Amino acid sequence: EAGVAQSPRYKIIEKRQSVAFWCNPISGHATLYWYQQILGQGPKLLIQFQNNGVVDDSQLPKDRFSAERLKGVDSTLKIQPAKLEDSAVYLCASSSPRGGNTIYFGEGSWLTVV
């Protein structure tokens, strides 16, 4: 079974530029998550989708971050404009009740803002 796919793996941008990350969850997983992991810290949930609806986006900085999952499968996370403090690893994850709701993570997209 293929895991959670993310791209790009690495991205370096200048502050005030924009960036987008893509995620394809495990096939059949209705729940998709985006986490932000700043170096030396644990991951923090940004947004959670159930199919194409948002379940929790309480910690998403909505003035600059947006995310969508239009067809209930893959998802895109966008940052515009980026700030230096957005430098982090952006982790996508998915889960399904059939899998005991275990959350499976992708390898992450490493963002450096200079």
> Can you give the binding site for another protein, defined by CB under 8 A?
4, 31, 40-45, 48, 50, 55-56, 91, 93, 95, 101-108
The helix/strand/coil state of 75 is: strand
Of 79 and 108, nearer to another protein (C-beta) is 108
Of 73 and 103, nearer to another protein (C-beta) is 103
What is the closest distance, in whole angstroms, from the C-beta atom of residue 113 to another protein in the complex? 21
The helix/strand/coil state of 58 is: coil
What is the closest distance, in whole angstroms, from the C-beta atom of residue 21 to another protein in the complex? 14
Of 17 and 31, nearer to another protein (C-beta) is 31
Backbone φ, ψ for residue 53 (5° rounding) = -105, 150
Tokens 């986006």, located at residue? 57
Backbone φ, ψ for residue 85 (5° rounding) = -75, -5
